[in-house]
Amino acid sequence: MLLPVSQVASLVDSLNLSWLDKVYLSEIPNEDLDNTDITVMLLQETDSSPAYHANNTFKGIAMGVEIQIFYKVDLEDDFNPMEAELDLMKRFKEAGWLIVSSQRHTIDPDTNQVTKTIYVTKNEMIKGDI
């Protein structure tokens, strides 16, 4: 079973989002920390707990991921972040993920980028005995 952030990264990659330039797992590398010319997504694991308890054991994993989007400073005039985010959340739902929370937009104080944070979760059965 892939790590939750790897599963989300794979899903995001398969969506071919034209507005997204890079996806990072766990941290943004130093060379891109202050790069405001690209839109990046940072994925961080929030949960990987036992789930589906039965017969003194567990049969699955509850996975959680924090999705942070840092929009480039000069967005195209015809780009609507809200529409992009709603589409992203719909696609996550279609892939079996639950949208736990969609936080308000904020401005990164260091880069002046508009940011968005979304929390998703999914329970997955474990194949075989543990």
Q: Is the C-alpha dihedral spanning 93, 15, 75, 46 positive or negative?
A: positive
Question: Which 3 state secondary structure label does DSSP give 109?
Answer: coil
Mind listing the pLDDT tens digit for each residue in 93-127?
A: 999 999 999 999 999 998 999 999 999 999 998 88
Q: What is the pLDDT of residues 33-72, one digit of tens each?
A: 899 999 999 999 999 988 888 888 888 999 999 999 999 9
pLDDT tens digits, 86-101: 999 999 999 999 999 9
pTM over 0.75: yes
Give the number of other Cβ atoms within 10 Å of residue 20's Cβ.
18
Contact present, 33 and 14 (Cβ < 8 Å):
no
> Does residue 22 surpass a pLDDT of 90?
yes
Q: Is 1 helix (H, G, I), strand (E, B) or coil?
A: coil
Domains contained in the chain, CATH given: 4-125 (3.30.2000.10)
Contact residues for 46 (Cβ-Cβ < 8 A; gap 6+)? 64, 65, 66, 119, 121
Q: What is the pLDDT of residue 129?
A: 57
Q: What is the pLDDT of residue 65?
A: 98
